[in-house]
Amino acid sequence: FFFLMIRRPPRSTQSRSSAASDVYKRQVSTQSTWGEFFLRNLNRKGRMFRDERRDKEVAVEEVFKQASLGNLPATLAPVEHKQFNPYTFNAGSVVAIAGPKFCLVAGDTRLSEGYSILSRNTSKLVPLTADTYIATSGMYADFIGLQKVLKARITQYKFNIGREPTTESTAQLLSHTLYGKRFFPFYTFNLIAGLDENGDGAVYGYDAIGTINRLPYAVQGSGKSLILPILDNEIQGYNKVKHTPPQDLNQLQELIVDVFTSAAERDIYTCLLYTSPSPRDRQKSRMPSSA
Amino acid sequence: MIKGVYDVDCGTWSPQGKLIQVEYAMEAVKQGSICLGLKSQEYAVLCSLKRAPSELSSYMDKTFKVDDHMGLSMAGLTADARSLCKYMRNECLNYKYNYEVAHPVERLIFKIAEKSQKKTQSVSTRPYGVGLLVIGVDQTGTHLFETCPSGNFYEYNAYSIGARSQAARTYLENHFQKFSKASLERLILHGLKALKGAVQEETDFNTRSVEIAFVGLKENFTTLKEDQVDSYLKKLAD
């Protein structure tokens, strides 16, 4: 059973790795036969064992030792079936920026699978309370599941406590909801965007298993590595000799539109942010979270 | 009213063919303070009179929201009402989660009725001591239901339960034909008039003791705030 525990097929998803998906990374050893494996290990000891029983013991120890390092002879491993992969990557990119007395959150509306487009008009942004939004990239099915769980929990909160949860409480709720599935995670890369108790913008970033960080701005999704450096440069002023931070809401909105335009140029999963709906998208998507 | 040896538990019939414990439970409802409900084609309204246990305390709420499309008012043991309300809220959440639509009203009433009936057929538990008036909207329109400790439920155009509810019922019987096409405001005023008929001299009939709630085909269940209740009471006085 020990072998079976660490034996995993090679990964076939094309998404980036995260702590949660590391467990899928183990490879099968290239040693081809049991016999070769034994010979190789016995010879390393530098002598041939005459005692049959002893041979077996040593060989078995070696196998365990190699197995613990992740190396197994292919013949020892079970036949490699194409295993069901429960995860896929659907969603493009989302961005949130916190400001004094406001918070901006944006997401593109493209849903994809592999090289195909599933929908041009599906929202990644969902309001959870009057002053909190959740924005998610990752697997759409898990996004819907997560969103439904959160909404039900928030309704319960409203009945029990008598008011809506604060953005901070909602952020915590998301964190422990995600961790609750630590061993079969929601394949979602989330942002919480809202107003804190002082009325200032609050943005929280997460990984798939619920690590929570409050941030001045955050990006998630396939365009993250394209968008985040621009925001670092434009908002924080990193790597700039002379920096004028964005002055107001309008400048930040323009920045967000520009940033999505740039990402869309290179990332197939991210599309442009439309400032007005494209004529082709006139038919409203009936997906649960569409705007 | 004590019926001697046949009223000990729900496992015993009386010679008259009654379950006396259940009757006692229904008595608890009759002793609770009055609440009434009425509906039109577009709205359903609940009006209730709250009681304060003492001069020093606040008035106990009788109206609870169950979901955006449903709410209830009660007469009898408030704690039992809370317990049932919690169950109803949970059922509505689960239904919404699984089917993405609001829980049909009659289905939920049926679940309450089933729950209530179980308690009338056991020696070890007591029946619920509360009657609920539930208003809700769903695909079949507006609804007003009454639930009983006995496990029965009834649907009404207008009804009243609790102390001196007969007076309110008389008003509702005389006027219910006008309700079907009435506006929300008219409906609420009818409800308040019916409620007033059941109020004794010394009982408080003011902003703090009157509760009004409504739900509409296009409007979520809402309990009116104090200033709104106040304006209706003023209109009533005119």
Mean pLDDT of A218-232: 96
Q: What tens digit of pLDDT does each residue of B160-217 get?
A: 999 999 999 999 999 999 999 999 999 999 999 999 999 988 888 999 999 999 999 9
Contact check, Cβ <8 Å, B97/A148: yes
CA–CA separation, A89 vs A137, rounded Å?
Answer: 8
CB-based contact A156 B93, cutoff 8 Å = yes
Contacts of B93 in chain A (CB under 8 A): 152, 155-156
pLDDT of A78: 52
Provide the pLDDT for residue A215.
96
Q: What is the three-state SS of A237-249?
A: CCCCCCCCCCCCH
Q: Is the pTM of this model over 0.80?
A: no
Q: What share of chain A has pLDDT > 90, as a percent?
A: 57
- Interface confidence, given as ipTM, is 0.85
Judged by CB atoms closer than 8 Å, whether chains meet at B93 and A152 is answered as yes
Whether A224 contacts A262, CB under 8 Å: no
pLDDT digits over A136-146, tens only? Answer: 999 999 999 99
Indicate yes or no: CB of B93 within 8 angstroms of CB of A288: no
Question: Block means of pLDDT (10 residues each) for chain B, length 238 residues?
Answer: 80 93 96 96 96 90 97 97 97 95 97 96 94 96 97 97 96 95 96 93 89 97 96 91
Tokens 């709720």 identify what position?
A173
Per residue in A206-215, pLDDT (tens digit) is 999 999 999 9
| Residue A39 pLDDT | 57
Which residue has 């041939």 as its token pair? A48
Task: Match 């659907």 to its residue by tokens.
Answer: A90
Phi and psi at B170, nearest 5°, equal: -60, -45
Chains A & B: contacts with CB separation below 8 Å: 11
Out of B89, B96, B100, name the one closest to residue A159 (CB).
Answer: B89
Residue A58's pLDDT is 60
Q: Considering only CB atoms, which residues of chain A are within 8 Å of chain B?
A: 148, 152, 155-156, 159, 288
pLDDT at A15: 44
Half-sphere exposure of A151 (CA within 13 A, CB side): 21
Q: Kindly tell me if the per-residue pLDDT of A199 is higher than 90.
A: yes
Q: How far is it between the farthest Cα atoms of chain B?
A: 54
List the structure tokens of B42.
Answer: 């577009």
Cβ contacts of residue B154 below 8 Å, gap of 6+?
Answer: B145, B146, B148
Contacts of B96 in chain A (CB under 8 A): 152
Check pLDDT > 50 for residue A5: no
- pLDDT digits 0-9 by tens, A77-127: 555 667 889 999 998 999 999 999 999 999 999 999 999 999 988 999 999
List chain B residues with CB under 8 Å of A159. Answer: 65, 89
Contacts of A288 in chain B (CB under 8 A): 100
- pLDDT tens across A140-180, in order? 999 999 999 999 999 999 999 999 999 999 999 999 999 99
- Per the listing, tokens 């964005």 go with A246
Which range has the top average pLDDT, A46-50, A58-62, B177-181? B177-181
d(CA B175, CA B190): 8
> How much is the pLDDT for A46?
46
Structure tokens at B58: 């606040």
Contact B97 A152 (CB under 8 A): yes
The shortest CB-CB distance from A288 to any of B65, B93, B100 is to B100
A12, two tokens? 């076939």
